[in-house]
């Protein structure tokens, strides 16, 4: 809080901190900040943050962000002096994400993308905190041909009345709420539109492309690709995306919106073949139609992130796949990461 910063470490709130990207973000932040991780495990896992629970500068709060969050109720936060120092930064990543069980979380998703965002923004206003929101590439809608790379200035085309409207339109509405609070309260608001990201701690058995490919290869099952031999995507490794989020948070107030993701396109069949090569698996690759209301936003134009943040993805795809395969091999007896 402005004028009350009394510790060498900032107090940083991470909502959705037990999720895939959120837990990796907590790993980075706890090195030099006091991290308050909020999650309710609706689609995340305690295993993602188990290694952090013994860290003196990390605290976990089991809370549904669609309900107001009152820090004074949690005595475990006294060592961070939240009542005096307040919160300096907020990373808002909380949102139910489950491709295979999306229908089960529709109400939670639409409330998180409205009431939940409002609750987090109220914390930002009270604490004069910087806030970063993890948005999604889905708000661009389907790729629209040439030019294939989408820029932050491009219009967002969505059918908000599809079965995925709670998530897709919810992300766009969340951005509108953030910009409104920035205009009214002068908040330093950051929005990261994140493209397809992969790495350890992604959920398995949940319709996630890369972990399901890896698991099927390890178990000798068919690798299924939605589309055909020319279906393409971009893939950014999770630690690169986390680096982009932190750079965005630390950027000047006039920098608000950036794309984060790989601007290099890869054929999914080539990714599958690389996984088979690394694992030595004899699995076959087969193709099936895309799921209903599938959105392919195309490639991100990341020139703004490169020019303004000095950010570029560094980890090679092959190295990222090796890391994920090692993780999956060690944990595949579990139901989820």
- Within a domain: 288: no
**Mean pLDDT lowest for which of 20-34, 52-66, 160-174, 321-335?**
321-335
Residues 213 and 204: their CA atoms lie apart, in Å, by: 10
Cα 224 vs. chain centroid, distance in angstroms?
24
Domain that holds residue 43: 10-200+235-262+297-314
101 three-state secondary structure: coil
* pLDDT reported for residue 2: 45
Contact 43, 105 (CB under 8 A): yes
pLDDT grade, residue 158 (50/70/90)?
confident
Residue 52: inside a domain: yes
CATH of the domain at 67: 3.40.50.720
Give the model confidence (pLDDT) of 15-42 as tens digits.
Answer: 999 999 999 999 999 999 999 999 999 9
Give a yes or no: residue 42 inside a domain.
Answer: yes
- Residue-wise pLDDT tens digits, 46-92: 999 999 999 999 999 999 999 999 999 999 999 999 999 999 999 99
DSSP string, 12-27: EEEETTTSHHHHHHHH
Average pLDDT over residues 288-308: 82
Residue 271 lies in a domain: no
Structural domain count of the chain: 1
**Which has the minimum average pLDDT: 58-62, 308-312, 324-328?**
324-328
Alpha helix stretches (DSSP H) within the chain: 20-29, 82-85, 106-111, 117-127, 165-185, 209-219, 238-249, 268-279, 303-309, 317-331
Please report whether residue 53 resides in a domain.
Answer: yes
Active site residues: 167
**With helix as H, strand as E and coil as C, how does 43-56 read?**
CCCHHHCHHHCCCC
Can you read off the two tokens belonging to residue 32?
A: 């030099």
Does residue 129 sit within a domain?
yes
Per residue, the 3-state secondary structure of 140-180, as one string, reads HCCCCCCCCEECCCCCCCCCCCCCCHHHHHHHHHHHHHHHH
For residue 260, which of 275, 284, 238, 278 has the smallest C-alpha distance? 238
Please, are residues 225 and 269 in contact by the beta-carbon 8 Å criterion? Answer: yes
**Has residue 133 been placed in a domain?**
yes
Total residue count of the chain as it appears in this document: 337
Q: Is residue 36 part of a domain?
A: yes
């Amino acid at each position: 809080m402005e004028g009350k910063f009394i510790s060498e470490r900032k107090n940083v709130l991470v909502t959705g901190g037990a999720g895939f990207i959120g837990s990796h973000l907590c790993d980075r932040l706890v090195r030099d900040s006091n991290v308050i991780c909020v999650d309710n495990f609706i689609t995340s896992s305690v295993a993602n943050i188990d290694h952090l629970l013994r860290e003196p500068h990390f605290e976990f709060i089991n809370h549904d962000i669609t309900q107001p969050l009152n820090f004074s109720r949690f005595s475990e936060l006294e060592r961070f002096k939240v009542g005096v120092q307040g919160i300096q930064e907020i990373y808002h990543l909380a949102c139910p994400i489950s491709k295979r069980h999306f229908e089960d979380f529709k109400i939670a998703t639409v409330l998180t993308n409205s009431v939940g965002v409002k609750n987090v923004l109220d914390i930002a206003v009270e604490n004069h905190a910087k806030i970063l929101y993890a948005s999604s590439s889905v708000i661009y809608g389907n790729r629209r041909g040439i030019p294939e790379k989408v820029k932050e200035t491009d219009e967002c085309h969505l059918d908000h009345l599809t079965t995925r409207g709670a998530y897709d339109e919810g992300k766009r509405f969340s951005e509108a709420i953030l910009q409104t609070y920035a205009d009214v309260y002068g908040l330093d608001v950051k929005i990261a539109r994140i493209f397809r990201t992969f790495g350890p701690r992604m959920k398995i058995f949940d319709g996630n492309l890369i972990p399901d490919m890896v698991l099927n290869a390890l178990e000798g099952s068919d690798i299924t690709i939605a589309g055909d031999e020319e279906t393409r995507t971009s893939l950014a490794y999770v630690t690169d995306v986390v680096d982009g989020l932190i750079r965005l948070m630390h950027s000047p107030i006039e920098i608000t919106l950036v794309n984060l993701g790989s601007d290099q396109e890869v054929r999914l069949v080539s990714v599958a073949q690389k996984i088979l090569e690394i694992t030595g698996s004899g699995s076959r690759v087969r193709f099936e139609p895309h799921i209903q209301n599938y959105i392919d936003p195309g490639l991100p134009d990341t020139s703004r992130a490169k020019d303004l943040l000095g950010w570029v993805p560094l980890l090679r795809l092959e190295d990222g796949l090796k890391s994920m395969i090692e993780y999956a091999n060690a944990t595949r007896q579990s139901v989820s990461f």
